[in-house]
Amino acid sequence: MEQEITFNEIPAILGTINRRLSRIEDSIQRQQTASAPAMQKKRMTLDELLEYLPVKVKRDTIYKWRYQGRIPYHRQNGNLFFEQDEIDAWLASDSGKTELQMISDAQTYAAHAAAGIPLPKKGGRR
C-alpha cells in the first residue's frame, strides 16, 4: 500500500533524492576514473591488425601500405605496432589516407596553385 505524500514533505523528499543522485554520480565518476587506465590507447601487433580489419588483407599488403604511408603505424624498439584509435580514424576516412598524407597533398596543391602550375591529372590518357 502506497503512502500519500503531503505538500510539506516534498522538500525533504527532494533533498533525499538529490543526495542519493549525488552519491550515484560520485560512484559512477569513481568507476570511470578507475577504469581510465584500462581505456588507454590499444596497441595492436600486425597479426592483431589483420584480425581487426573488416576485410581480409594479406600481411604483405600491410607492409606495402606502410612503405607507401597509406596506413598509420609506429615503431618502437624495432617492433611494428598500430594504435587502434588511429586505425579506426583511418578506416572511417573517405580517402584512406593518413593525416600526414593529406597535409602533404594540401601543401602540394597550395604550392602548385600559388605558382600557377596545373596539377597533374590522375589516370586516363594524356
Count other C-beta atoms under 10 Å from residue 18's C-beta: 10
Q: Give the integer Cα–Cα distance in Å for 126 and 111.
A: 23
**pLDDT tens column, 46-105:** 999 999 998 888 999 999 989 888 899 999 898 999 999 999 888 887 555 666 676 777
Q: In 68-87, which positions are buried (b, 16+ CB within 10 angstroms) versus exposed (e)?
A: eebbbbeeeeeeeebbeebb
User: What pTM did the predictor assign?
Assistant: 0.46
Question: What are the structural domain ranges in the chain?
Answer: 43-115
Mean pLDDT of 22-29: 82
47 Cβ contact list (under 8 Å, min separation 6): none
